[in-house]
Structure formats: C-alpha cells, structure tokens
Amino acid sequence: MWLQQRLKGLPGLLSSSWARRVLVGLLLFLVFYWYLGAEQGWRILSGSSVPGGAAGQCLQAEIHRWRSLVDRGEGVYRAPQEQLDSPFVSGNGHILIDVDSNKLWVAASSQPGSAPVHQTEYSPRVGVHLEGRRAEAQATMLWFRKGAVLSVRCASPAGSQSTRDCVTIREEFIAHRSRPNVYLQRVHINNPSDRTASLDVASDGPPFGSKFSSSVEKLEDQDIVLSSGRVPLDSSRMVLVVVVTKKLGTRIQVPAKSEHTENILSVVWTSEPIESSKLEETFSGLRDGAKKELGELLRASVDDLVLDHQQAWMDLFISGVEMRKITDSHTPSSQTVNTTLYYILSSSTAPLLDRRLSGEERARLESSLNYADHCFSGHATMHAENLWPERVSSTAQILQLVTLWTLTLQKRGCKVLVAAGAHGAMQGMVLSFGGLQFTENHLQFQADPDVLHNSYALRGIHYNQDLINLAVLLDVEGKPFLHVSVKPFLRSSTCP
C-alpha cells in the first residue's frame, strides 16, 4: 500500500495502473536477481547455461585470456564449442612432441634440412587428473611466438553448480628451442574450493611388445625414470632413443584455497642410424650423456630456461607475413600462414642457436641470412595451396609439408637458407610468399599483378645488417602501392 501511494505521485506514464504494475514487477525481479546472485539468477531466468555447467563457465574465463592473442594472429585454440582439427605440437627439429596423441617423434640426423620423421613408442606427456567423479572441460592452444602448447582443464565435483568448486589444471608443453635435447612439461594447479584436491599422476607405460623399456634410477638424490628403445629403419639399421625424466610421486595433494606447481624436465638423446652390432655401446653412451645433461638442468633455474626458449621463438618471428585485407578465395588467411610457418619452424633445427658452433661457422651462416643471392627465384607462393594448406590434420602431414618446403626452397635458389635451419627457412618462406628475389646486390619484387588486389605485409627481411619491411597496401580507390621501411637489425642478447 505504501509503495502504491508513492507511485501515484509520479508524473506522466507512471500515473497509470499498468505502469505501476510493471514497476513493481521490475523491483521484484531486481530483488530476486540480487538474492540469487547475478550469474545464477540470469542462468535460471534465461533457461540457458554455458555448456559444461560450472566447469564450462570456468573454462570460458580461461579461454578469454587467449582470445586477444588469437585475434593478433599469435596462436590458435580448440575448445568444446570451437573445434579445430589441427595437430598441437611443440618441436625444435631434433624432437617433436605431439600433445594430442602423446607421441614423441625424433630425427635421425642433426643436419639442417632433416626433420623428426621417426615416431617412437615413447609417451612423453605425464597425466595429472583430479580423483573421483567430476565434470571436466578442456581447451588447448598453440602459441606460435612462444613455441608452446598450452592446455587448461577445469574440473568440478559431479553435481556442483558453483565455479568456486572448480579446480583448474594449466599445463604448458615445450620442446626447447635452443636446447634440442630438452622437453619440459609445466603443471600449475589452482584449487579455490574449501576442500583438499587430490590428483593422480601417471605416465603411459610402453605397450606390450614395445621396443621401449623403463626403469627408476637415482641421480644426485633425485629419482629419475630412464626409458630406452629403438626405432627400426630397415632390416639391419636402427635409431636408438634414450629419455631421462624427473620422476614425480603418484599423487599430488593441493590444500583448500591454494596452488601447486610442478616442472617435469626430460632429456632426449638419439643416435645416428647404427647397425645392431653397436647396440650396447651406443646405448651406454646415450644413457650417460642424457643423465649428465638432466643433472645440469636440475641445478639450473626453470624460469630462466623457459625465458631462453621464449626469446628464441620471438627472435624467429621478427620475420613473418601479415595478411591485412583479402579480396579473393585463393589467398591464405593469417591463421593459415602463421600456422604453416610455426609447423615448419617446429620441425627445423636452429644451428645458429648451437652453443658449440665455431665463430667461423657462425659468421658463414649469418652471412647467408644477410644476403641470400638468387633466392627466391620463381613465382610467388602466395596462391600455392599445397605450400600454405588451410588444413593440416596430423603430424605425418606436417612432416610431408616440411619435405615439400625444403625441396621448393632448394630448387628456387635458397639452398644456403635451408642450410641455416629454422632462421633460413623463415627467410625463404617470407621471400617466396611475395615473390621477392635477391639479384646482383638488390632486392627485386616480382609479384604477379593478380595478387596485388590483396593487402599484406612482409616483415623482417634480412639485408646486410638491416631488416626490410615491405607492405602492399591499397589506396582509397583500391589501387595497390608499396610501402617500404628499413631498420637496423639488433641481435637479441640471448643469442650465443
């Protein structure tokens, strides 16, 4: 009665009985909304919810952090409502980690141009799972500029509707860019709930009849797992593989409202192709070398190790391709271009990052990057769909793509760039995209006229001690023009 008397005093529209009823209903709605909480109230009233319940809501908040990176072309991700049929891998040319299939691929040679084409029976990923019945939602991201696969899982007890009960498990998988034998799995667990979270830790053991075996050993008071096996090449030759990994316990306990971090370091040593008569001798040398390297890593800072890896990848992506405006259906998108670049670089060694490289050899490789004479000869590859495929669905297809790019660059005058490994591959691919060619001390732009209706930029082209950025832009009338800029090349302090 008191509210109705007050409403009668309002001017205009609120003087009608209909308007008063609407306002009373609105006030009741606001009270109801406040009482239940904004998130819960809206879900009930709208009759809809985020797929996956509380775990799905938690996951959406995590994915939100990735979207700005993806929008800038720095990665791609897969989520329950946004499927992506692409392999999520991290590699350095010596090893390649396929996170989805939990497989390790290795190279039989350390020479530039070779790739990790041999699939082993070793499973590199350590599984960390919340105990008990639960609802779980997962998303995975490929972060190009950091050379990593990120995974986030949100798990909540069965029947829980509150995100405050969600345990978040964030993982990062890295095949180290400048330490070709090193693989790192980082695990961060956040438990905001009011109860202790118990998680099982397990590795996939070798399948029955596997050519791999594992044993637990001691290394400087630290338990390690030593796995060794063979990859047959033919009837008489094989590649030997030894993996030494820091061992975790079988369970992780994370107290209420706390966090927990684990860094799982692994070292992978492989042999050149050998005859079976050299089996024991080669295995012995690989085991000793891998254990020694892991011992050094366990005494080092993991954060410094990760920063070194990330800086090496960011230095690679100083060069690249940026699609700004696409006006036809044959030109690859920025996502396709950057994904292709990442796959090729992940499968290519980087001899310039090898600390054992002599000064003379380093100078020779750097010189080949600074002026790649006659590279790239031929038509621009922008519209070559076999070189810039929109869809790559397996690690085997990545390795086929690496072979195709290597042959293409070698045939088009870029052998010296192929010999420079990942840094050279990036230069060759950027030059090829726009039809650029170094000839007689100048850079020639020979793009076909039919591609100039697209707007794109080629950045970080090495020329002597400078970097050239070239962009094809469109004026207000849609006519193409070139914009070229030059800046000094400042070498990263992380380079050896």
Whether the per-residue pLDDT at 239 is higher than 60: the answer is yes
**Alpha carbon distance 486, 202 (integer Å):** 52
Give the whole-angstrom CA distance, residue 343 versus residue 91: 9
- Among the residue ranges 281-285, 355-359, 446-450, the one predicted with the least confidence is 446-450
Task: Pick 420 or 48 by higher pLDDT.
Answer: 420
CB of 225 within 8 A of CB of 216? yes
Task: Answer for the pair 272, 282: CB distance below 8 angstroms, yes or no.
Answer: no
| Tokens linked to 148 | 């990593």
Max distance between CA atoms of the chain, in angstroms, equals 102
Other C-beta atoms within 10 Å of 119: how many? 17
- The predicted pLDDT at position 42 comes to 38
- The full set of domains in the chain, from first to last, is 2-46 (no CATH), 53-312 (2.70.98), 318-488 (no CATH)
CB 249 within 8 A of CB 201: yes
What was the pLDDT predicted at 491? 67
pTM: 0.87
Provide the pLDDT for residue 38. 42
Q: Read off the pLDDT of each residue in 202-209 and give the average, rounded to a whole number.
A: 72
Residue with tokens 């996951």: 59
Per the model's pLDDT, the better-predicted residue between 11 and 89 turns out to be 89
* Most confident residue range from 43-47, 338-342, 451-455: 338-342
- How far is residue 44's CA from residue 42's CA, in Å, rounded to a whole number? 5
Segment among 15-24, 60-69, 71-80 with least mean pLDDT: 15-24
347: burial class by Cβ within 10 Å (0-12, 13-18, 19+)?
buried
Give the model confidence (pLDDT) of 365-403 as tens digits: 888 888 777 899 988 999 999 999 999 999 999 999 999
pLDDT(1) > 60: no
- pLDDT value of residue 446: 76
Q: Please state the rounded mean pLDDT for residues 120-145.
A: 92
Given this model, what pLDDT does residue 217 score? 95
The secondary structure of the chain, three-state, reads: CHHHHHHHCCCHHHHCHHHHHHHHHHHHHHHHHHHHCHHHHHHHHHCCCCCCHHHHHHHHHHHHHHHHHHHCCCEEEEECCECCCCCCEEECCCEEEECCCCEEEECCCCCCCCCCCEECCCCCCEEEEECCCEEEEEEEEEEHHHCEEEEEEEEEECCCCCHHHCEEEEEEEEECCCCCCEEEEEEEEEECCCCCEEEEEEECCCCCCCCEEEEEEEECCEEEEEEEEEEECCCCEEEEEEEEEECCCCEEEECCCEEEEEEEEEEEEECCCEEHHHHHHHHHHHHHHHHHHHHHHHCCCHHHHHHHHHHHHHHHCCCEEEEEECCCCCCCCHHHHHHHHHHHHHCCCCHHHCCCCCHHHHHHHHHHHHCCECCCCCCCCCCCCCCCCCCCCCHHHHHHHHHHHHHHHHHCCCHHHHHCCHHHHHHHHHHHHHCEEEECCEEEECCCHHHCCCEEEEEEEEECCEEEEEEEEECCCCCEEEEEEEEECCCCCCCC
Stretch 114-127: mean pLDDT, rounded? 93
pLDDT of residue 24: 58
Q: How far apart are CA 164 and CA 257, in angstroms?
A: 10
Report the C-alpha gap between 63 and 299 in whole angstroms.
Answer: 34
Residue with tokens 């820091």: 246
Of 156-160, 327-331, 471-475, the poorest mean pLDDT is in 156-160
End-to-end CA distance of the chain: 82
Cβ atoms of 132 and 390 closer than 8 Å: no
Taking 80 as the threshold, does the pLDDT of residue 4 lie above it?
no
- What pLDDT score does 493 carry? 43
Rounded to 5 degrees, what angle do the CA atoms 81, 163, 263 make?
A: 80
DSSP-assigned beta bridge partners for residue 240: 230
Least Cα distance to 161 among 300, 58, 30, 71 occurs for 58
Distance separating alpha carbons of residues 424 and 413, to the nearest angstrom: 12
Residue 167 CA to residue 126 CA, distance in Å, equals 18
pLDDT digits 0-9 by tens, 283-342: 999 999 999 999 999 999 999 999 999 999 999 999 999 999 988 888 999 999 999 999
- Cβ–Cβ under 8 Å, residues 99 and 149: yes
Sheet holding 466-474, edge to edge: 320-325, 455-463, 466-474, 480-488
- Where residue 36 falls among pLDDT bands split at 50, 70, 90? very low
For residues 72 and 157, the answer to whether their CB atoms sit within 8 Å is no
Distance in angstroms (rounded) separating the CA atoms of residues 310 and 161: 38
20-24, 87-91, 350-354: which has the minimum mean pLDDT? 20-24
Contact assessment for residue 462 and residue 424, using Cβ atoms and an 8 Å cutoff? no
Average pLDDT, the chain: 87
Give the burial string for 144-166 (b: 16+ CB within 10 Å, else e): bbbbbbbbbbbbbbeebebbebb
